[in-house]
Copies of this chain bind each other. A is one copy, B any other.
Amino acid sequence: MKRTISALARNEPGVLAKMAGEFGRYAANILSLAAGETENPEVSRIVACIEGDDAAIDAITRHLEALDTIIQVDDLSRNDFVDRELVLVKVEMDPARTAQLMQVFEVFRASVVGMGRETITVEMAGDQGRVEGLIHMLKPYGIKSLCRSGMIALKRGDE
């Protein structure tokens, strides 16, 4: 099963190595991971999308919560969260199909961030369904390279 976990961690050396180690110990595969700053300079937020046995992921969550450096762990699959991902895609540009390509960008509200002689690079932010939709629509044109940020998320509402 695929689940997304968000952890607030104190900025101490080795936090990420410890977390990655926990995932490995339970044979959970990390599909994506985003670690970045928060509103508090001493705290980072790590959002990981992992694939593994349900019981194993529960065990990982409990182990992470028990670590001194981890302040809080949320299971984003179980709660109400706004989740977003950023993707950069460099796609081949065939003059005969440029208009069509631009239409795809428009539908997905993808913005052009770079252009070469044979390729065009766009960025798009959205939930995972939209990111996968864009990739799916661009595949027939020829994707030259692609970079995804991994999911980030905040709780819905005021909390």
Q: Which A residues lie at the B interface, using CB under 8 A?
A: 11, 13-14, 16-17, 20-21, 23-24, 27, 29-39, 45, 47, 82, 84-86, 88, 90, 113-114, 116-119, 121, 123, 125, 143-150, 152-159
Specify which of A16, A146, A149 lies most central, judged by the most chain B CB atoms within 10 Å of its CB: A149
6 chain-A/chain-B pairs, Cβ below 8 angstroms: A13-B24, A38-B146, A38-B147, A82-B121, A121-B156, A125-B125
* A16 contacts across to B, CB distance below 8 A: 16, 20, 30, 33
* A158 contacts across to B, CB distance below 8 A: 116-119, 144
Contacts A37-B32, A38-B146; A153 near B84 (Cβ below 8 A):
no
**A106 nearest CB across to chain B (Å):** 16
Per the bound structure, the CA–CA distance linking A44 and B11 in Å amounts to 25
Contact status A17-B21, CB under 8 Å: yes
**A135 nearest CB across to chain B (Å):** 8
* A150 contacts across to B, CB distance below 8 A: 34-36, 149
Beyond A38-B148, A85-B86, 4 extra complex contacts between A and B, CB < 8 Å: A38-B146, A114-B157, A116-B159, A149-B149
Chain B residue nearest in CB terms to A92: B158
Per the bound structure, the CA–CA distance linking A93 and B16 in Å amounts to 34
Contact status A145-B149, CB under 8 Å: no
* A116 contacts across to B, CB distance below 8 A: 156-159
